[in-house]
Amino acid sequence: MARDEALAEASKRDLDLIEVAPNADPPVCRIMDHGKFRYEQQKKAKEAKKKSRQTQVKTIRLRPNTDDHDVAFKMRNANRFLSKGDMVKFNVIFRGPELRHKDIGRAQLEKFIEGCAEHGEVEQPPRMEGRRMTMMLRPKSED
């Protein structure tokens, strides 16, 4: 249909002529209510945004001499974060003479790997960064 005919038809129906695919040969247009079309697009975008979820990185801080009960409490929190789909970063912070006993901090992080194996997997293995040892767990993938 010619452009002038399409415009006349759209005005006769009290609707708008909207170009849908400008790069097609010939360009594709539709006769529709532009306000309603934009409203439906915004509604779809809002619904898609509701369903999508951004992953957050939750941080759990420990010391090499953190007690077993406190470690268990932090492990429950880590499992809760992982089950919600968040990534968990563990920091073991060494101060003074504790720096000589890096094996204790590594052992604590290994406990977390075993305790969180049901909900998460290792993204970044334990490694030293200055005075802290860090490790990252990500939620297990569904596939």
Express each pLDDT in 18-69 by its tens digit: 888 888 888 888 898 889 989 999 999 998 888 777 788 999 999 998 888 9
Q: What is the CA radius of gyration of the chain?
A: 28
Length of the chain counted residue by residue: 143
Task: With beta carbons less than 8 A apart as the criterion, state whether 31 and 13 touch.
Answer: yes
Question: What pLDDT sits at residue 54?
Answer: 78
* C-alpha separations of 18 from 8, 33, 89 in Å: 13, 9, 50
pTM above 0.85, yes or no: no
- CA 92, distance to chain mean position in Å, is 25
Task: With beta carbons less than 8 A apart as the criterion, state whether 119 and 83 touch.
Answer: yes
Pick the CATH number of 3-51 from 3.30.2270.10, 3.40.50.300, 3.90.230.10, 3.10.20.80: 3.10.20.80
Report the percent of the chain where pLDDT is more than 70: 99
Task: With beta carbons less than 8 A apart as the criterion, state whether 139 and 86 touch.
Answer: yes
Binning pLDDT at 50, 70 and 90, where does residue 77 land? very high
Averaged over 94-114, what is the pLDDT?
90
CATH number of the domain located at residue range(s) 57-139 in this protein: 3.30.110.10
Q: pLDDT at residue 142 above 70? A: no
Exposed / middle / buried, residue 82 (Cβ in 10 Å: 0-12, 13-18, 19+): buried
Instruction: State the DSSP H helix or E strand holding residue 79, giving kind and residue range, or none if neither.
Output: helix 68-84
Q: pLDDT at residue 143 above 60? A: no
For the chain, what are the domain ranges? Answer: 3-51, 57-139
Task: With beta carbons less than 8 A apart as the criterion, state whether 91 and 132 touch.
Answer: yes
CA angle 46, 48, 50 (to 5 degrees): 70
> Looking at per-residue confidence, does 142 or 92 come out higher?
92
- Supply φ then ψ for residue 90, to 5 degrees: -105, 135
Q: pLDDT at residue 140 above 70? A: yes
